[in-house]
Amino acid sequence: MISKLSIPRLYENTYTDSVEGFFLVYNPLSEKGLSVLNKEAAFLFGLIDGKKNIYDILLSAKEKDSSIELTDIIKVFNDFVSSEIAYFDTPKSKTKLFSKKPTHLGVWLHITNQCNLRCTYCYVWKTQDKMSDEIARKSINTIIDSAKKHGFKKITIKFSGGECLLEFPKVLDLVCLGKKLAKQVKIEIDFVVLTNGVLLTEEVAKKLKEENIRVAVSLDGLGKYNDTQRIFPSGSGTFKFVEKGIKNLQKAKVPFNVSITITSKNIENIPDLTKFLLKRNIPFAFNFYRENPFVKEVLEGDDKKLVEFLKKAYRIIYESPPRYSLINGLLDRVTFKRPHLYTCGMGNSYIVVRQDGKMVSCQMTLEKPNGSIDDKDLIKTMEEGNFVRPKNLTVEGKTPCDTCQWKYICCGGCPLLTFEQKGKYTVNSPYCSVYKALIPEVLRIEAKRLIKYGFNETKTDKQEFPSLLPLSL
């Protein structure tokens, strides 16, 4: 309980900024997301120095407004504590935070190597190989059984390829089986189709809606910018087909988002594509191209150009933020959902199954199997198959990540990319400077969204000393 002698303190590495006359506060160790304070709450927050107690702060507040009472101050500081931007006595335990066992298992089912496109940067070598019905059904059975044994509460299965809609009847069969088995063992389950969008007919969209399957559609630009790198085997572009597929999803009210891969060939169009998607109320996520053995050309842009055009896109979002949050999709491999020690779920909460039933650590390492669905314990295979050496390397074991303000948000970036470009896992991402330049910009966008949609602008009676906006991500 807070008393007048209690001394509030700030968390280490807290980030603050001013946004539209409000005050942004982000604690990288918070599970509550960022906070946006109005001017009165910001004034009180600014008095926290680890020395002043609540009574000292009350006296300072009374100099501004003599009607303020101790109960008003305590109410605001209770808000600060519940929002995890300040604490009394002891801070939130990092050990307790990071010792939590994952309860959400991610699954990537690579059901086919076949594809109707030949995108210029694709990491999958195209063959006619596809997952048999036997392997597919066994994969679902074994994954759900393993998840139950290890205490997972939810499973998200992503169907991929190649182009998984070439095997749409199989996808529907596996969704039906997955729902049935998950219900039996009382595990929540959902499904996502990863598609290039070309095969999203009205009939397919209706079926996706009926089965409650979410969709991620790849689109890399408008017109020629998409058609330079997402092409049919003939070399012709796909934009008009993808645009039609997206309209079919919207018509059927299928939940979906657009996945954008940024390369040197489309980077200049990213701001216009952002405007296009915002206008149509379509959620989206930015991904950075990753080198792979099947691509001859170098596609990545330099850091300065990447920052320049992403900032232009961010400015467009900032000026007209949507009601839904984009914060976890605006910067490749950076997530603000909760503090974490690992960039992704690899070796921890993420299973990838190839078309032949072999397991791999990551969809980017399909040529390096480390087990199979025939193993006795898939979760153990997942944990032992982590290719990062030393195993269980966290961001706290990387240099200079271990001293970085943002270490629990980006975790040093993709370890595979870091190793390929720097020859070791124990260092920061090649995109480190990009992350540092853009993370504050992403936080400002989310703050602007909260200000626009999460705040009641009617004047508040002084006896109800105003403090925080609604803060949940």
Q: Is the pLDDT of residue 412 over 50?
A: yes
Residue 298: pLDDT band (50, 70, 90) is low
Instruction: Tell which of 45, 67, 92 closes a domain.
Output: 92
Q: State whether 335 and 413 are in the same domain.
A: no
DSSP state of 385: T
Q: For residues 165 and 50, state if they share a domain.
A: no
- When divided into structural domains, the chain yields a total of 3
pLDDT of 11-54, one tens digit each? 999 999 999 999 999 999 999 999 999 999 999 999 999 999 99
Given a cut of 60, whether residue 473 has pLDDT beyond it is no
- Domain-embedded: residue 37: yes
More confident residue, 105 or 464: 105
Q: Is the pLDDT assigned to residue 228 strictly greater than 50?
A: yes
State which residues form the domain around 86.
8-92
Judge if 275 and 332 occupy the same domain.
yes
Strands 15-19 and 8-9: unpaired
DSSP 10: P
pLDDT at residue 468, rounded to an integer: 47
Highest mean pLDDT among 30-39, 163-172, 340-349 belongs to 163-172
Between residues 464 and 188, the one the model is more confident about: 188
pLDDT value, residue 460: 35
Calculate the average pLDDT of the chain: 92
The helix/strand/coil state of 255 is: coil
Query: Is residue 2, in this structure, part of any structural domain at all?
Result: no
User: Strand pairing of 188-195 and 8-9?
Assistant: unpaired
Identify whether residues 380 and 402 lie together within a single domain: no
C-alpha 335 chain-centroid distance: 4
CATH no. for residue 261? Answer: 3.20.20.70
Mean pLDDT, range 326-337, rounded to an integer:
95
The reported pLDDT for the residue numbered 471 is: 33
Q: How do residues 350-406 score in pLDDT, each as one tens digit?
A: 999 999 999 999 999 999 999 999 999 999 999 998 888 788 899 999 999 999 999
Task: Note the pLDDT of residue 60.
Answer: 97
The answer to whether residues 66 and 20 belong to one domain is: yes
Choice among 294-308, 347-361, 423-437 with the minimum mean pLDDT: 294-308
Q: Is residue 449 part of a domain?
A: no
Assess contact for 219 and 198: CB atoms under 8 A. no
Same domain, yes or no, for 47 and 154? Answer: no
Tokens of 238: 């796909």
For residue 293, what pLDDT is reported? Answer: 73
pLDDT at 425 over 80: yes
Same domain, 227 and 248: yes
**Would you tell me the crossing angle of helices 54-64 and 70-82 to the nearest 10 degrees?**
120
Spatial separation of the C-alpha atoms in residues 58 and 394, rounded to whole Å = 42
- Is 1 a domain residue? no
**Percentage of the residues of the chain whose pLDDT score is greater than 70:** 95
Which CATH number belongs to the domain containing residue 25 in this structure? 3.90.930.60
> Which residues 6+ apart lie within 8 Å of 271 measured at CB?
309, 312, 313, 316
Mean pLDDT value of segment 57-83: 95
With 70 as the cut, is the pLDDT of residue 81 above it? yes
Which residues does 374 contact at the CB level (< 8 Å), separation at least 6? 357
**Is 429 found in the same domain as 328?**
no
The confidence score (pLDDT) of residue 299 equals 52
Residue 473 lies in a domain: no
Residue 106 inside a domain? The answer is yes
**What pLDDT does 290 receive?**
81
Same domain for 139 and 34, yes or no, is no
Q: Which domain-ending residue is among 92, 127, 159? A: 92
137 shares its domain with 169: yes
Residue 300's pLDDT is what? Answer: 56
Residues 290 and 411 in one domain: no
In a domain, 345, yes or no: yes
Cα separation, 408 vs 369, in Å, equals: 29
- Asked if residue 470 belongs to a domain, the reply is no
pLDDT surpasses 90 at 245: yes
Question: Residue 271's pLDDT band (boundaries 50, 70, 90)?
Answer: very high
Q: Are residues 188 and 276 in the same domain?
A: yes
